Amino acid sequence: MKFTILTLFPDMVMSGLNDSIIKRGMDNGLLEVGAVNIRDFSADKHKRVDDYTYGGGAGMLMQAEPVYQALSSVTSESQKKPRVVYVTPQGRPFCQKMAEEFAKEEQLVLLCGHYEGIDERVLEECVTDYVSIGDYVLTGGELASMVIVDAVARLVPGVLHNETSAETESFHGELLEYPQYSRPEEWHGKRVPEVLLSGNSKKIREWRLTEAEKRTKERRPDLYEKYQLLQLAKKRLSVRKIHHMDMIEAINRGRATLIYMDETECLLMENQSGTYFHTTYEATEQETYRPHFLDKLGPESLDKIILLMEHNEGCVSEIEKELGLHMEYQNHTCALTRREKLPIRGLYAEDGKEGPTGISIEPLTLSDLDYALGLYKLQFDDPEYMKHRIENDPMYLARFHGAPAGIMGMHVDGSIGMLEVDPAFRRKHIGFALETYLYNKMIENGEIPYGYIFHTNQISINMQEKLGMYVAKEYSFWLHK
Q: Which of 132, 271, 460, 476 binds ligand ADE (CB under 6 A)?
A: 132
Nearer to ligand ADE, 109 or 250 (CB): 109
Q: Do residues 110 and 3 make contact, with C-beta atoms less than 8 angstroms apart?
A: yes
CB of 117 to ligand ADE, least distance (A): 9
Q: Is 352 in the site for ligand ADE (CB under 6 A)?
A: no
The C-alpha atoms of residue 454 and residue 441 are separated, in whole angstroms, by 24
- Among the residue ranges 87-95, 203-211, 391-399, 422-430, the one whose residues contact ligand ADE (CB under 6 A): 87-95
Q: Do residues 463 and 454 make contact, with C-beta atoms less than 8 angstroms apart?
A: no
The C-alpha atoms of residue 404 and residue 474 are separated, in whole angstroms, by 36
Q: Is 7 in the site for ligand ADE (CB under 6 A)?
A: no
Q: Is 137 in the site for ligand ADE (CB under 6 A)?
A: yes
Q: Which of 74, 133, 146, 176 binds ligand ADE (CB under 6 A)?
A: 133
CA 298-299-303 angle, to 5 degrees, is 125
Q: Do residues 467 and 269 make contact, with C-beta atoms less than 8 angstroms apart?
A: no
Q: What is the DSSP string of 363-409?
A: E--GGGHHHHHHHHTTT---HHHHHHHHHHS--EEEEETTEEEEEEE
The C-alpha atoms of residue 373 and residue 378 are separated, in whole angstroms, by 9
8-state DSSP, 239: G
CB of 14 to ligand ADE, least distance (A): 18
Q: Is 410 in the site for ligand ADE (CB under 6 A)?
A: no
The size of the chain, in residues, is 481
CB of 155 to ligand ADE, least distance (A): 19
Nearer to ligand ADE, 97 or 203 (CB): 97
Number of residues that bind ligand ADE (CB under 6 A): 11
Pairing of strands 265-270, 256-261: antiparallel
Nearer to ligand ADE, 59 or 346 (CB): 59
The C-alpha atoms of residue 204 and residue 379 are separated, in whole angstroms, by 40
Q: Which of 49, 87, 305, 398 binds ligand ADE (CB under 6 A)?
A: 87
The C-alpha atoms of residue 206 and residue 452 are separated, in whole angstroms, by 28
Q: Is 414 in the site for ligand ADE (CB under 6 A)?
A: no
Nearer to ligand ADE, 150 or 318 (CB): 150
Q: Which positions from 144 to 173 touch ligand ADE by CB under 6 A, shown as an x/- string?
A: x-----------------------------
- Among the residue ranges 57-65, 129-137, 155-163, 459-467, the one whose residues contact ligand ADE (CB under 6 A): 129-137
Taking Cα atoms as reference points, which of 340, 341, 313 lies closest to residue 327?
313
Q: Which residue is nearest to ligand ADE (CB)?
A: 144
Q: Is 90 in the site for ligand ADE (CB under 6 A)?
A: no
Residues that bind ligand ADE (CB under 6 A): 87-89, 132-134, 136-138, 141, 144
